[in-house]
Amino acid sequence: MSKTNVLTIRIPADLKHRISLLAREQGVSINQLAMYMFSKEIGAIEAGQKIANYWKNHSKKEILNDFDIVMSKVAENPVPTWDEK
């Protein structure tokens, strides 16, 4: 397990109450829920930054053209009939 550190943050009482309720509903501690939420949000922000960096040197026209190319390939595939009997 990696080394851990303590982080103290100040949050409004209402937010702490909401986090506490969610943690209880999930059957986890406030700390576990907070770590999960921080990790998930940081991951989403990092992913957004990577996508933005990847596309920053492309014009909107290029991006939309590439999107259309991908979607045209998807449209050619038949829709699975998993739910049909």
75 or 6, higher pLDDT: 6
Looking at residue 27, its pLDDT comes to 97
pLDDT value at 1 more than 60 = no
In 3D space, the residue among 24, 2, 20 whose CA is nearest the CA of residue 12 turns out to be 20
Could you read off the pLDDT of 24-83 as tens digits, one per residue? 999 999 999 999 999 999 999 999 999 899 888 899 999 999 999 998 888 666 777 887
The per-residue pLDDT for 54 is 86
Tell me if 20 sits within 8 A of 30, measured CB to CB. yes
